Amino acid sequence: MKDQNKQPEKHKLIEYANGPSLEEINGTVEVPKGKGFWRTLFAYSGPAALVAVGYMDPGNWSTSITGGQNFQYLLMSVILISSLIAMLLQNMAAKLGIVTQMDLAQAIRARTSKALGIILWIMTEFAIMATDIAEVIGAAIALYLLFNIPLVIAVFITVFDVLILLLLTKIGFRKIEAIVVCLILVILFVFVYQVALSDPDWGGVIKGLVPTAGTIASHPTVGGMTPLSGALGIIGATVMPHNLYLHSAISQTRKIDHNNEEEIHQAVRFSNWDTNIQLSIAFVVNSLLLIMGVAVFKSGVVKDPSFFGLYQALSNTSMLSNSVLIAVAKSGVLSALFAIALLASGQNSTITGTLTGQVIMEGFVHMRMPLWARRLITRLISVIPVLLCVAMTSGMNKIDQHTALNDLMNNSQVFLAFALPFSMLPLLMMTDSTAEMGNRFKNVVWVKVCGWVSVVGLTVLNMIALPDSFAGFLGDHASAADVNMAHIASYVAIVAVLALLAWCAVDIYRGDKKLAQLHAKNGEVRATPDYEGGAE
């Protein structure tokens, strides 16, 4: 194994990295010892807020609101189930980081070959960029709506959010957590306010939380959406791979003694509390979005589900459901608050996307670059398809322009379907392992069963959605032959994903066996972190 104490040359843009995850902030937040529950919980609270941001980013908005418009409260149960699965997976990710002192990317790389590590790195980078496209579109549209800044200029302005990131890196990680929580509260306030004015049918909301056969039915088709496609859209926008990598890294920001099993147990316990609380807030936000689609607008009136269309609908009194909303909408408050929440969501995701990019680069390929450079490169790549879309639709009418941007955002999420299994499966295998986690911290039976059901179920659902996702790139006027070719290409992609997934699973299984043999030889239960590792 290479020297973990090797000091990088600071003057290089790209440095060698093979040490603790996000080394600059790893173990920097003090936690109290022997204090009460609430004080200790407060000290451990924060990392999951950065994760929760990904569950309420701009990519979730139109899917949930349109689902409510088309099927009333039917898809509430999908949001609930997705949130519970997210809690399960995020708790595993945080536990992996705390117990093994490796983030998910480092842990996968330590148990797999270098070639597979590079493939997984590239795949995850594409997934992060796909998420970034949604953030670029959301932030640019928010700037356009709030300040009437032309879209092209607004897109370029989003590149300069790197300056915000530079400022935040100077103030300490705990303050970053606080800023993210404040932005989440802004988003929560906006939607609580709008839904409260709409006076929804709370009985229907509660009834919708119970899944039925109709939740995943392939009929009826409303506005080009079926309950099944709506459910797949919500699931795809909810559980995202980059959150698992991020959580396994930032869960290590708390300073604990890793030679003391009780301190590790306390860290895992309070990390679970943090995760469940923050993702419960994310569940509330996503539920409010769906309820907005049902209760704020008249049924079926939102023909343009893009951010432009939703903004305009919130100021169009003929589209709103009751007199209270109409009175408030006349002042422009409803639409302005929506745009403010959209901007807050995009800025929140700026922070988490950059940190995740650094985590996977260091973990998979042992490279590090300054956060500002990392963010600048990723954002510049992500704005290219957005600028092309704006340029190519400049001669169209506004509705077609808006639809094209919305389609770009939705279609970019196809990369998440590719990357998700390669974060979920290794995470589950390693947290199931005694060699990795020890007897005390490996998954208990019910977590293991629920984990495998979730991983297999999400993977199957994502693969089912791929043919339509591929066809979505062709637009609304594609020929039957083109759609057929897109479907064939998707089936080839599915086979490739399954083969790569099998390679990953075999490598991790072999790596786990070698680790168990090493422990048996040395008389250990768990080894110290091996960031390099790698299968033969």
pLDDT tens digits along 446-476: 999 999 999 898 888 878 878 877 877 776 6
How far is it, in rounded angstroms, from Cα 92 to Cα 431? 7
CB distance 239 to 89 below 8 Å: yes
Confidence of residue 403 (pLDDT cuts 50, 70, 90): confident
Q: Is residue 518 part of a domain?
A: no
Task: Decide: 120 and 420 in contact? Cβ < 8 Å.
Answer: no
Evaluate whether 184 touches 348 at the Cβ level (below 8 Å): yes
* Distance (Å, whole) CA 372 – CA 382: 15
Other C-beta atoms lying within 10 Å of the C-beta of residue 64: 28
| 445-472 and 480-522 helices, crossing angle to 10° | 150
Say if residue 203 is exposed, middle or buried (CB neighbours under 10 Å; 0-12, 13-18, 19+).
Answer: exposed
Binned at pLDDT 50, 70 and 90, residue 35 comes out as: confident
Q: Is the pLDDT of residue 441 over 60?
A: yes
Question: How far is Cα 285 from Cα 60, in angstroms, rounded to an integer?
Answer: 10
Say whether pLDDT at 250 is over 70.
yes
pLDDT computed for residue 432 by the predictor = 93
pLDDT of 279 > 90? The answer is yes
In a domain, 8, yes or no: no
Q: How confident is the model at residue 198 (pLDDT cuts 50, 70, 90)?
A: confident
How far is the C-alpha of 229 from the C-alpha of 215, rounded, in Å? 10
Chain mean pLDDT for the chain: 83
Classify residue 278: in a domain, yes or no: yes
List, for residues 333-359, the tens digit of each pLDDT value: 888 888 888 888 777 666 777 788 888
Would you state the pLDDT for residue 105?
93
Decide if 421 is inside a domain: no
Is the N-terminal amide bond of 220 cis, ω within 30° of 0?
yes
Q: Which residue has the higher pLDDT, 207 or 461?
A: 207
Residue 9 has pLDDT above 60, yes or no: no
pLDDT digits (tens, 9 = 90+) for 108-135: 998 888 899 999 999 888 888 888 887 7
pLDDT band of 87, cuts 50, 70, 90: very high
**328 and 197 in contact (C-beta within 8 Å)?**
yes
What average pLDDT does the segment 59-78 reach?
Answer: 84
Tell me if 79 is assigned to some domain.
yes
Confidence label for 1 from pLDDT (cuts 50, 70 and 90): very low
Q: Are 255 and 266 in contact (CB under 8 A)?
A: no
Residue 320 vs residues 57, 198, 298, 337: alpha-carbon distances, Å: 24, 9, 6, 16
Averaged pLDDT for residues 291-301 = 80
Neighbour-count burial of 37, counting CB atoms closer than 10 A to its CB (0-12 exposed, 13-18 middle, 19+ buried): exposed
What pLDDT was estimated at residue 20?
A: 83
The verdict on residue 413 lying in a domain is no
Long-range contacts of 175-180 (CB under 8 A, 24+ apart): 176/50, 176/351, 177/45, 177/46, 177/47, 177/49, 177/50, 178/46, 179/351, 180/46, 180/49, 180/50, 180/53, 180/348, 180/351, 180/352
Q: Tell me which of 168 and 285 has the higher pLDDT.
A: 285
Length of the chain, in residues:
536
Among 39-43, 334-338, 440-444, 526-530, which is the least confidently predicted range?
A: 526-530
DSSP 307-373: HHHHHHHTT-GGGBSSHHHHHHHTTTHHHHHHHHHHHHHHHHHHHHHHHHHHHHHHHHH-EE--HHH
Residue 154: inside a domain? yes
- Domain extent, residue 85, equals 23-384
What's the pLDDT score for residue 166? Answer: 60
What's the pLDDT score for residue 526?
60
Residue 89's alpha-carbon distances to 114, 248, 415, in angstroms, are: 25, 11, 19
287 pLDDT band, cuts 50/70/90, is very high
pLDDT above 90 covers a percentage of the chain that reads 26
pLDDT of residue 11: 53
Number of separate domains in the chain: 1
Which pLDDT score is estimated for 527? Answer: 54
Residue 187 sits in a domain whose CATH number is 1.10.4160.10
